[in-house]
Copies of this chain bind each other. A is one copy, B any other.
Amino acid sequence: MNIVQNNVHDYEEKAELLKALAHPVRLCIVDGLLQNECNVTKIRECLELPQSTVSQHLSILKSRGIIKGRRRGTEICYTVSNELVRELMKILTGKNVHIQGPEGKK
């Protein structure tokens, strides 16, 4: 009876969130921002990518509500603003985790 009866439509929003995270540069940025908020120039220097490329990745993350930036003079300082993403990253990167259900599968 209850198979994959879920409505595909219900997953569109979540798929959008994952899609925004599903790029090595963006994952790296998010993981970095989880440890320290940071402006674009620093990110650019660390990743050794053109400014416009970094800015576009930030724009994608921002448009999905994953990060937000606040202006500080001429810089813009980014931080992770999404609690769900924080949790996902914890699981994904294995940092700070407590996984492993009661019945170990090993």
Contacts and interface: CB of A to CB of B under 8 A. Distances in A.
Number of copies: 2
A4 B47 contact: yes
B84 A2 contact: no
B22 A15 contact: yes
A4 B22 contact: no
A89 to B, nearest CB: 9
- The prevalent SS among residues of A at the interface is helix
Nearest to A38: B3
Nearest to A21: B18
Interface in A11-29: 11-12, 14-15, 17-19, 21-29
| Residue from A9, A17, A24, A102 having most chain B Cβ neighbours under 10 A | A24
Contacts of A14: 24, 27, 92-93
